[in-house]
């Protein structure tokens, strides 16, 4: 049976309420992709299980390009990356959003050391055509490739830019629904459904905010609430709200954060340059800083 060129799902003309529906089976796109492309409509679908996606990637056993972005780097993402058994590279997309005063080679070394990974790391921007030639060289050397990564990390946009394909792209999560096999000259590349690790938002830019913590005020960053003493620098998407006000709430978790550490956030991180004590409303993960010298 035919598959949708946009999301990879098998086309069907029986039930409009199920994925893959199209009025005519000779159409190139399912109705969901058609509405996304032409009307920018979001149509909810059942999210695939991450482990099923990883199992299929490992079964194919091909060189894997794992896509994430600077603000999405955290333990969950790296654990998924490490679970891929084949040869692989970590590609950090949207590098054009990274503040220009940060050294990418320095960040690369810190990521490898902080998360104890030996694989190479490449910074790219699919949107602005940064380092795509380097990535294309890697693809042409390996010939048979899997493109994997978190939902909304830009996998389909990258393939469209590299190979002039017409995969469906959107600002919504889970655009790709099944493995899509693409043949271009002597290269075979598989686009995969996005892995779901957190609520992912569209990043237009990274905002950097410096705050002085106080025990008299609650600092709220997205859903994280904290208080303490000391200075912090917050790196988050510009869509994440940051507020500070007096609130009479109990914060149950206590942490001592060492020098040059990052507190991971769902869409960013908090840089701690000098040791501080904080209290939070939820468990946090702390890593060696990926930007500190």
**112 lies in a domain?**
yes
Residue that finishes a domain, picked among 161, 191, 221: 191
Q: Is the pLDDT of residue 12 over 80?
A: no
The whole domain housing 236 covers 206-288
From CA 163, how far away is CA 56, in angstroms rounded? 23
Establish if 54 belongs to a structural domain: yes
15 part of a folded domain: no
Which of 191, 217, 234 delimits the end of a domain? Answer: 191
Point out the least confidently predicted range of 62-76, 116-130, 197-211, 266-280.
Answer: 197-211
How confident is the model at residue 168, as a pLDDT?
46
Residues 123-146: tens digit of each pLDDT: 998 888 899 999 989 998 999 999
Residues 6+ apart with CB under 8 A from 70: 92, 94, 95, 97, 98, 206
Q: Are the beta carbons of 22 and 3 closer than 8 angstroms?
A: no
From 10, 5, 32, select the one nearest 165 (Cα to Cα): 5
The pLDDT score that the predictor gives to residue 28 is 79
- 92-105 confidence digits (pLDDT tens): 988 998 999 999 99
């Amino acid at each position: 049976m035919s598959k949708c060129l946009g999301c990879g799902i098998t086309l069907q003309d029986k039930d409009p309420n199920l994925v893959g529906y199209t009025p005519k089976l000779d159409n190139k796109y399912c109705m969901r992709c058609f509405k996304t492309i032409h009307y920018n409509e979001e149509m909810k679908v059942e999210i695939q299980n991450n482990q099923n996606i990883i199992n299929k990637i490992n079964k194919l056993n091909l060189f894997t390009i794992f896509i994430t972005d600077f603000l999405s780097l955290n333990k969950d993402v790296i654990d998924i990356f490490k679970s891929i058994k084949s040869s692989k590279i970590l590609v950090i997309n949207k590098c054009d959003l990274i503040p220009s005063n940060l050294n990418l080679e320095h960040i690369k070394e810190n990521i490898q050391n902080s998360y104890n990974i030996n694989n190479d790391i490449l910074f790219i921007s699919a949107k602005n055509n940064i380092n795509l030639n380097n990535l294309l060289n890697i693809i042409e050397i390996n010939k048979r490739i899997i493109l994997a990564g978190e939902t909304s990390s830009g996998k389909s946009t990258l393939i469209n830019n590299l190979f002039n394909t017409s995969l469906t792209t959107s600002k919504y999560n889970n655009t790709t629904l099944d493995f899509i096999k693409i043949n271009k000259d002597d290269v075979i590349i598989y686009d995969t459904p996005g892995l779901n690790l957190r609520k992912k938002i569209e990043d237009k830019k990274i905002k950097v905010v410096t705050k002085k913590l106080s025990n008299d005020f609650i600092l709220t960053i997205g859903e994280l609430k904290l208080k303490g003493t000391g200075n912090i620098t917050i790196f988050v998407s510009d869509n994440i709200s940051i507020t500070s006000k007096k609130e009479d709430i109990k914060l149950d978790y206590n942490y001592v954060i060492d020098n040059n550490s990052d507190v991971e956030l769902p869409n960013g991180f908090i840089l701690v340059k000098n040791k501080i004590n904080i209290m939070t409303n939820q468990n946090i993960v702390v890593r060696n800083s990926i930007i500190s010298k």
